[in-house]
Amino acid sequence: MGEVETWIDLTAVALPLVSFRTSFVFHADGAVLTSDSTLRFRDRAELTASLTSAGFVIDEVREAPDRPGREMVFVTTAGQRPP
């Protein structure tokens, strides 16, 4: 229990990969934890190919209402899985 301080440091950018470290300091005992993560940002063509190969039908691609031009929302329905 108690206060926790946290921050995120960018550690590498090699598009489409972005890596970062999240640090946590627990003030009650001074313990420090870190978590390293890497995100892969895929473009519309890659996402479309992945979804259709998994058997989804893409009904619509929208912009996220709170992030126009920065994020895609894929609306899909389950189709037939390829043999």
Mean per-residue pLDDT, 58-72 = 91
Mean per-residue pLDDT, 69-83 = 82
| pLDDT over threshold 90, residue 61 | yes
pLDDT at 9: 98
Which pLDDT tens digit goes with each residue over 17-44? Answer: 999 999 999 999 999 999 999 999 999 9
% of the chain at pLDDT higher than 70? 95
Closest to 52 (Cα-Cα) out of 71, 73, 77, 69: 77
pLDDT at 22: 98
